[in-house]
Structure 1
Amino acid sequence: MITLPFLGRLSLSEWPVVVISLLFAYIESVISIITELIPAPVLGFITSLLKYLHTNAFRLVFPKDETEPTDAELNQRQLVKASNIHDICKVYGFEVEDHIVETKDKYLLTIHRIPPKKKDSPVVYLHHGLLMCSDIWFLMNRRDQNLPFILHDLGYDVWLGNNRGNKYSAKHLVLKPSETKFWDFSIDEFAFYDIPDSINYALKTSGAETLTYIGFSQGSAQAFASLSINAELNNKINLFLALAPAITPVGLHHRFVDALIKSSPNIMYLIFGKKTLLPTASFWASIIYPPLFVKVIDVSIKMLFNWKSKNIDQSQRISSFKHLYSPTSVKCIVHWFQIIRNGSFQLFDENVSVTNSLTKVFQPATFPTKTNIKVPVKLIYGDIDSLVNIDKYSSLLPAELTEAVAIPAHEHLDIIWGRDVDKLIFPHVLKFLAEHRPDSKSST
């Protein structure tokens, strides 16, 4: 009889989680197939009808206020309706450019640029986190709480990156997203290709010699990994600002789920397959009543990470959570679970069943961050963020180049969407930028 070794290691307490997860994945797959079979005009009509019902339901629950809505309230309504980064930025009177980056392994990434006020402006590049895209940087209900706009006002040339496979980068010169091979990537590919190729493009297009890198969560991890394996990249980044940096999270809050992924990271393949994670999530985000969708996200992140989002107002969660999800590969999630399991910021382990045997035949290679990173690093994190293991950073980063700032009583998402980002986060960001602002002379 054929058995699956990693299933044999599950305890009785873990099996209910497996069964529920498999059932959820099955239902999600069926829904995905059904939505693909529905003709586009019919699906569009259903979506429009549901959005209309949402609007009217909202008016019934919250009777119309006779007072004039605030700018933040007006912005929130438009942000919820926005379907892409161009719609989002138009809310604040900005336009962004689309630029296509061809990676060395032939993925086509769409990265965005806010055209600078003048030529030879210093360049800032921002990169999103896991299951996100460049939208995340523009979702605050107030203009002065969106970091890219502040940087643009200060005279920076602002660029925003996107990972392969996400909302804006689902293209390859040979492969199609319907093929499993398209989704065969992890943090390794982000580090070897997406980050350096995007940075090289931004520098070449702007004519600058160096840029400042700002990463959120996995966007920081990708840069740490890329800098550690690419000596040349260290000469192209003058400052690295890591917001809520995730390198070696200790685990998940839900003890059954945590035990499950630590015992067998590859179980994600069994549950979700080997392509993209939750392909219909964006569809559901567009049709579920916004306050209800926020409740679903609140419950999910509370269960997984023990985040309570007390620093993010309900109206802000409606704006931000609507655009929270963007596709990535299941393999990327498996990579994170390997890192969590081993407590090591390592490259993807292609043969986890062998390397985790008692004999330890192979040892997964770790990213040499402490010895190879030569760039000033500034960490800004919430002191109650369950994903940031700050005590571990001393062994992972060069002490002489690293400075950390803890934001009291803040969690992970609070660092970009908290109600006081302009008072608690931006001053640190702008201080570090001012200290390291490079000569803006063109290299051309």
Structure 2
Amino acid sequence: MSIPLLGRLHILDWPLIIMSFTLAWFEFIISIITTLLPDSFIEFCTFITKQFFKFTSNPVNLIIQQKKKDNLPKEQYQQEFKYAYIKTDDAITKKHYELMINLLNAENVEQMVQLFGYQIESHIVRTKDDYLLTIQRIKGKNRPPNDKVVYLHHGLLMNSEIWVTMIDKYQNLPFILYDLGYDVWLGNNRGNKYSQKHLNFNLNSTSFWNFSLDEFALFDIPNTIDYILESTGNEKLTYIGFSQGSAQAFASVSFNQELNNKIDQLIAISPATTPHGLYSKFLDVLLKSSPNITYLLFSRKVLMPSCIFWQKIMYPPLFDSLIDISNYLLFNWRAKNITKLQKLSSYAHLYSTTSVKCVVHWFQVMSSKNFQMYHDVNTTSLSGLNPISYPLKNIKVPIHLIYGTTDSLVDIDVMKNQLPLDSTTTYPVENHEHLDNLWGNDVYEVVFKQVLKYLNEDVDKVYSRLFRASNDVKLIEDIIRPNNSSINEEVILNDDSINQSYLKQVNVGERQKIDSNTYMDYERNQTFGSNVFI
């Protein structure tokens, strides 16, 4: 008979456990304190943060601009509402800047695609173990359909929004495919923002969050594919996965032989099956040492739900900087191919909930260097009970791997050896990291063109059909840059009747300088009363 807890942990685990509890309680206490802080104090902190970011290189300054009193005449109302461009090294048009703001503020994928002239058709998939998943179908203007179906699936700690955050319309893969005639579907894993419902388990129960990659492969992927094919009447579809989204498909197809007849090809962007360890050796050892430590630190339910809270109250450029710092410490990613303006819209939709068990599963995979099923934490290598590996060699579907050469998570040599050699191709993207293959400023040229080639599209014809036809005529205010140095721009705030998002009210009267000689001021032409950052 073993002593509870003591009998199941090695003595070397105890210092790590104490540290884990300390960090967990520290975050909890900070969250409680922040919740209880008065709004005026948070407003002050937001204002101070904004002033700090003014002095950084290539600053992105955001403040909230609010509606004035309802009894103000419309003429005066419009005259006193102005906004200025931010100072940046990149060429930013008025249209792009406003689109970034709207993407940043968008609450769901429906609002995001509407900004580009598309619609979302939501569908509910009931899995065989009674989870309800929301999947989305792109709808829009009439175009000649090509009778082909494409299913795109997100990665770890993400949801379907990650596919439509790019400021340039055709830097978003779903829009490219839709306008080329494809029937485009976006999937969602159980537990993320769009799939938090079970017919029997409460969302706050441990039972709801008791899932890992195995359940994604056993239920979410095959049940979603069956639903899509039944809805469209097609016999096959093309599967495009990002990061974990590709690993889920590999796992599912490897032991579900029926799926080999329902997928014509698997296109894996930044694929992951046996990632390298974390860049931080301390964190790598800490989280790999024992699954119990991860469970003690994060519980057996949802992983880091406080991230949503911090994102809502933090100044967006600061939040983006913390994401960059975290990615560097964990994976040695430097995000040099993603612009600051793009980060504001993309990072706002980066995080979505998943289970702690899913992350524990990944640490087991990284530790063993084997793409395996989840292994019970109470067993050890000395027990003679070993995990089951996914039989990836059984996959009969053509596989195409698109990976960044500087992506620390992708061990391409190990992955190639795991997959069938005769049906797997690889395409390296030079000097690209994990997220660059989704949000990099050159993502169409170096990633999506290759995807289109796998789909047997003529990229020259694609350019003629989409890009030349979509070259918007520049607005006159995007061309003319008048010298308005004498204009004193005022932003009037503190209207208690207006709802806020992301930032608190700030009393600011300022003018943003474009370069050493030129200032730009523009009147706000959108519907007044909505929250806008400048």
Query: For residues 33-432 of structure 1, what are the structure 2 equivalents within 5 Å?
Result: 57=50, 61=54, 62=61, 64-65=84-85, 69-115=93-139, 117=143, 121-350=147-376, 352-357=377-382, 360-370=383-393, 372-432=394-454
Measure, in 2, the Cα distance between the counterparts of 1:198 and 1:33: 39
The alpha carbon displacement at 1:71 in A equals 2.3
Kindly tell me: are residues 46 and 139 of structure 1, through their superposed partners in 2, closer, same or farther at Cα, counting changes over 3 Å? Answer: farther
The alpha carbon displacement at 1:356 in A equals 2.3
The alpha carbon displacement at 1:307 in A equals 0.5
Kindly tell me: are residues 7 and 156 of structure 1, through their superposed partners in 2, closer, same or farther at Cα, counting changes over 3 Å? Answer: same
Measure, in 1, the Cα distance between the counterparts of 2:401 and 2:348: 27
Q: Do 1:50 and 1:287's aligned partners in 2 also have CA atoms closer than 8 Å?
A: no
Show CA shifts across 1:335-374 (max 9, x none).
0011011111000002x342323xx41111000001x101
Measure, in 2, the Cα distance between the counterparts of 1:273 and 1:56: 32
Measure, in 1, the Cα distance between the counterparts of 2:298 and 2:53: 38
Measure, in 2, the Cα distance between the counterparts of 1:109 and 1:51: 41
Measure, in 2, the Cα distance between the counterparts of 1:165 and 1:144: 29
The alpha carbon displacement at 1:156 in A equals 0.4
Three-state SS of the structure 2 residue aligned to 1:215 is: strand
Q: Which structure exhibits the higher relative contact order, with contacts defined as CA atoms closer than 8 Å and separated by 6 or more residues?
A: 2
Choose between structure 1 and 2: higher helix proportion: 1
The alpha carbon displacement at 1:431 in A equals 0.2
Kindly tell me: are residues 19 and 302 of structure 1, through their superposed partners in 2, closer, same or farther at Cα, counting changes over 3 Å? Answer: farther
Partner AA of 2:380 in structure 1: T
Q: Do 1:75 and 1:142's aligned partners in 2 also have CA atoms closer than 8 Å?
A: no
Partner AA of 1:308 in structure 2: R
Three-state SS of the structure 2 residue aligned to 1:274 is: coil
In the other structure, the counterpart of 1:8 is 11
Kindly tell me: are residues 233 and 5 of structure 1, through their superposed partners in 2, closer, same or farther at Cα, counting changes over 3 Å? Answer: same
In the other structure, the counterpart of 1:439 is none
Of 176-185 and 114-123, more deviation after overlay is shown by 114-123
Kindly tell me: are residues 66 and 188 of structure 1, through their superposed partners in 2, closer, same or farther at Cα, counting changes over 3 Å? Answer: closer
Show CA shifts across 1:369-415 (max 9, x none).
01x10100000000111110001023210011100000001110000
Partner AA of 1:175 in structure 2: F
Query: Runs of 5+ in structure 2 lacking a partner?
Result: 55-60, 62-82, 459-534
Kindly tell me: are residues 369 and 78 of structure 1, through their superposed partners in 2, closer, same or farther at Cα, counting changes over 3 Å? Answer: same
Partner AA of 2:399 in structure 1: V
Kindly tell me: are residues 51 and 95 of structure 1, through their superposed partners in 2, closer, same or farther at Cα, counting changes over 3 Å? Answer: farther
Three-state SS of the structure 2 residue aligned to 1:182 is: coil
Aligned residues: 421
- Pairwise CA RMSD: 2.8
Query: Runs of 5+ in structure 1 lacking a partner?
Result: 437-444
In the other structure, the counterpart of 2:80 is none
Kindly tell me: are residues 132 and 58 of structure 1, through their superposed partners in 2, closer, same or farther at Cα, counting changes over 3 Å? Answer: farther
Measure, in 2, the Cα distance between the counterparts of 1:398 and 1:421: 27
Q: Do 1:28 and 1:278's aligned partners in 2 also have CA atoms closer than 8 Å?
A: no
Kindly tell me: are residues 327 and 54 of structure 1, through their superposed partners in 2, closer, same or farther at Cα, counting changes over 3 Å? Answer: farther
Measure, in 1, the Cα distance between the counterparts of 2:7 and 2:28: 23
Measure, in 1, the Cα distance between the counterparts of 2:242 and 2:86: 40
Measure, in 2, the Cα distance between the counterparts of 1:259 and 1:64: 48
Measure, in 2, the Cα distance between the counterparts of 1:216 and 1:7: 37
Three-state SS of the structure 2 residue aligned to 1:238 is: strand
The alpha carbon displacement at 1:283 in A equals 2.1
Partner AA of 2:398 in structure 1: P
Kindly tell me: are residues 315 and 6 of structure 1, through their superposed partners in 2, closer, same or farther at Cα, counting changes over 3 Å? Answer: farther
Q: Do 1:54 and 1:289's aligned partners in 2 also have CA atoms closer than 8 Å?
A: no
